[in-house]
Amino acid sequence: MRVFAGLWGGWLFCLAWVGVFGRAQSIFAHPRLYAASRPDSSRLVGLRAYRTCYIAQKIDHFGFAEDRTFKQRYLIADQHWKKDTGTILFYTGNEGDIAWFANNTGFMWNVAEELDAILVFAEHRYYGESLPFGNKSYTDAKHLNYLTSQQALADFAVLIQHLKNTIPGTQNTPVIAIGGSYGGMLAAWFRMKYPHVVIGALAASAPIWQFDSLVPCGSFHKIVTEDFKKSGIGCSETIRNSWAAIKRIADTEKGLQWLSHTFRLCSPLKTTTDLITFRESLRSTWIYVAMVDYPYEAAFLQPLPAWPVKVICKYLTKPKLPD
């Protein structure tokens, strides 16, 4: 079970190993659609052909003192588009390069034909190529001021209006927002805040309640633990006991050397800070594997087998093993 349980979560990142990239097209071009693919011949199981476009967006949708614009990137694929029966599936980009998400959101590619759909993948401002202030975007709070979900949603609304105004036959085409994780929160909020722009939203693995005072602060980690508990006898308990074992072993110089060697660390563990960093990296590993615990072989964050947590748990069956 993946960490952010969503009905469609399992589908969302499927076919993650099919890497096919579109060619960048002229800036601000109207979205004249055609295929532009560079198939990953080694593991190709489907066609991921899109073209890259850009739209000028206001840096600030909610004030007028900052009246400059920036270029937002979006990817578009219309191989299956049919004017009279079609749909626009609009991916509300999350925190990363949009090409990465486009190539790891198999669900949209899988349903495109059935829905006669145009696929649109919109990049989130401040990520990938969509930098409001170019390479200065992250320099200070002043430049980062426009990195908010509200501004991102406004970008999406403007982009959809632009698409409908420029792609013939889409004026009355229904638009469905689709997103995963933080992008799934955006998809849900997009439907709430712009109900006239999208007729529905599919929020996959989206922790929309994951805020202080809405859910207990331990909820996330409890679900991670639950994943390991369900994936093998003694698995979760073995990991739980490992923290104290690491502490005991790290108590001696010889133990530290053993840890450094066994985990193939780049530099040997020496200080308390080193040890905290080491434990933190282990903790992150368990969390991230739980997050990509897909039922099929995939490579969203790293190449992994199907049900990676189960695979790990095969090696973690003896919680009572001595140090």
List interacting residues with a second copy (CB under 8 A). Answer: 60-66, 141-142, 144-146, 148, 150-151, 192-193, 195-196
Task: List, in order, residues 6 or more apart from 55 with CB less than 8 Å away.
Answer: 28, 71, 72, 74, 158, 159, 162
Query: Least CB distance from residue 63 to a second copy, whole Å?
Result: 4
Closer to a second copy at the Cβ: 197 or 289? 197
Residue 30 to residues 86, 158, 165, 198, 257: CA-CA distances in angstroms? 19, 14, 10, 21, 60
Which residue, 193 or 310, is less far from a second copy as judged by CB?
193
With respect to a second copy, which residue has the nearer C-beta, 142 or 270? 142
User: Whose Cβ is closer to a second copy: residue 110's or residue 165's?
Assistant: 165
Contact 236, 242 (CB under 8 A): no
Distance, CA of 253 to chain centre: 41
Cα–Cα separations (whole angstroms), residue 221 to 81, 230, 291: 42, 14, 11
Q: Least distance to a second copy from the beta carbon of 145, Å? A: 4
The torsion angles phi and psi of 156, rounded to 5 degrees, stand at -60, -45
Q: What is the closest distance, in whole angstroms, from the C-beta atom of residue 161 to a second copy in the complex?
A: 12
Range list of β-strands (E), 85-139: 88-92, 118-122
Give the residue with the Cβ less far from a second copy, 60 or 274: 60
Return the number of the residue (141 or 266) whose C-beta is nearest a second copy.
Answer: 141
Q: Give whichever of 3 and 152 is closer to a second copy, judged by the CB atom.
A: 152
**Residue 211 CB, nearest distance to a second copy (Å)?**
14
Residue whose token pair is 């190539």: 103
Query: Whole-number minimum distance, CB 52 to a second copy, in Å?
Result: 29
Report in angstroms how near the CB of residue 200 gets to a second copy at its nearest: 15
Using an 8 Å Cβ cutoff, are 215 and 223 in contact? Answer: no
Amino acid identity for residue 304 in this structure? L
Closer of 89 and 152 to a second copy (Cβ): 152
Q: Which long-range contacts (CB under 8 A, 24 or more apart) does 303-309 make?
A: 303/17, 307/231, 309/227, 309/228, 309/231, 309/235
Amino acid identity, position 225: T
Distance CA 81, CA 237 (A): 51
Element (H, E) at 52: strand 51-58
Least distance (Å) between residue 119 CB and a second copy: 28
What is the sign of the dihedral through the CA atoms of 98, 102, 108 and 112? positive
> Minimum Å distance from CB 54 to a second copy?
24
Alpha carbon distance 83, 311 (integer Å): 46
Residue 166 or 242: the one with the smaller Cβ distance to a second copy is 166
Rg (CA), the chain: 23
Least distance CB 196 / a second copy (angstroms): 8
